[in-house]
Structure 1
């Protein structure tokens, strides 16, 4: 059995995220004041062959016209999905309750990391993601992600 087959067997909840999602990301500081808010379009794909078990395509859009795009391919090893990209490195795993958990270290901001929790609604068409950001061990912001499946 190859890594992709193992991934599909060992992380079935992750596969429920396949498709295109749109939503809003709200960044708040420790006092819950909004420090940034933007729209997002995310495409999650799960190749059936090749090096990557998962590829996420991000497109962030701000009201002032700014945009940012990123492609985030991940490999499956030792029970986790792993990334080692220019901006960050870390891994994701799933719980028995179908939550996806991530622990990511920011390479583009030394000393900064975040933990992410992804929860899928029972309809499979809505999900919530929360990011808890730390700098040198101290919480400095959270990101609240509300997304809905469009394709």
Structure 2
């Protein structure tokens, strides 16, 4: 079996997602917020069966793009790149089949790790994500993310974005 068959919930995330990331410190005070566009892909062939690209945009005009190609084995997606090392897995105990969990650690900073929970709406059109950043066993930051599906056809949206930048 392949990634789509072994991880059907994650496969439902394929497409382009627009959202907002809001960051809170341990005291619950908002410390940052930015818009996002994520491309979640399951490319046919190639080295990586899962590939996510995150585009971030702040109100002050700053932008950032992060690329996360991932391996697949043991019913998990695995990242190991210059930024993070970790995994994603569906939560089998969720009888509603809505929950994906992620764990990752920042490369070069073993005192900081993160757990993420993703909840996909039953209609597959929206999702919310929560990150807990933990340093030395203490909560440092929470990130709340609200997203809506823009298109399942990530390749067409990528082509459209490329045409706009030329």
TM-score (norm 2): 0.85
CA distance in 2: counterparts of 1:14 and 1:70, whole angstroms? 20
Instruction: Tell me by how many angstroms 1:108 deviates.
Output: 4.7
Q: Which runs of 5+ in 1 are unaligned?
A: none
Structure-2 residue corresponding to 1:135? 135
Match of 1:25 among 21, 30, 35: 21
Match of 1:87 among 79, 83, 86: 83
Q: Which runs of 5+ in 2 are unaligned?
A: 152-166
Structure-2 residue corresponding to 1:38? 34
1:60 aligns with 2:56: yes
Structure-1 residue corresponding to 2:3? 7
Instruction: Tell me by how many angstroms 1:50 deviates.
Output: 1.9
Instruction: Tell me by how many angstroms 1:110 deviates.
Output: 3.7
Deviations along 1:59-89, whole A, 9 cap, x unmatched? Answer: 0000011100011001101221100010110
The count of residues paired between Structure 1 and Structure 2 equals: 147
CA distance in 2: counterparts of 1:150 and 1:108, whole angstroms? 34
Match of 1:75 among 64, 71, 78: 71
Instruction: Tell me by how many angstroms 1:109 deviates.
Output: 3.5
1:112 aligns with 2:107: no
CA distance in 2: counterparts of 1:41 and 1:58, whole angstroms? 6
Higher helix proportion (structure 1 or 2): 2
Between 1:93-102 and 1:55-64, the stretch displaced more is 93-102
SS class of match (1:127): strand
For the aligned residue pairs, the C-alpha RMSD in angstroms reads: 1.1
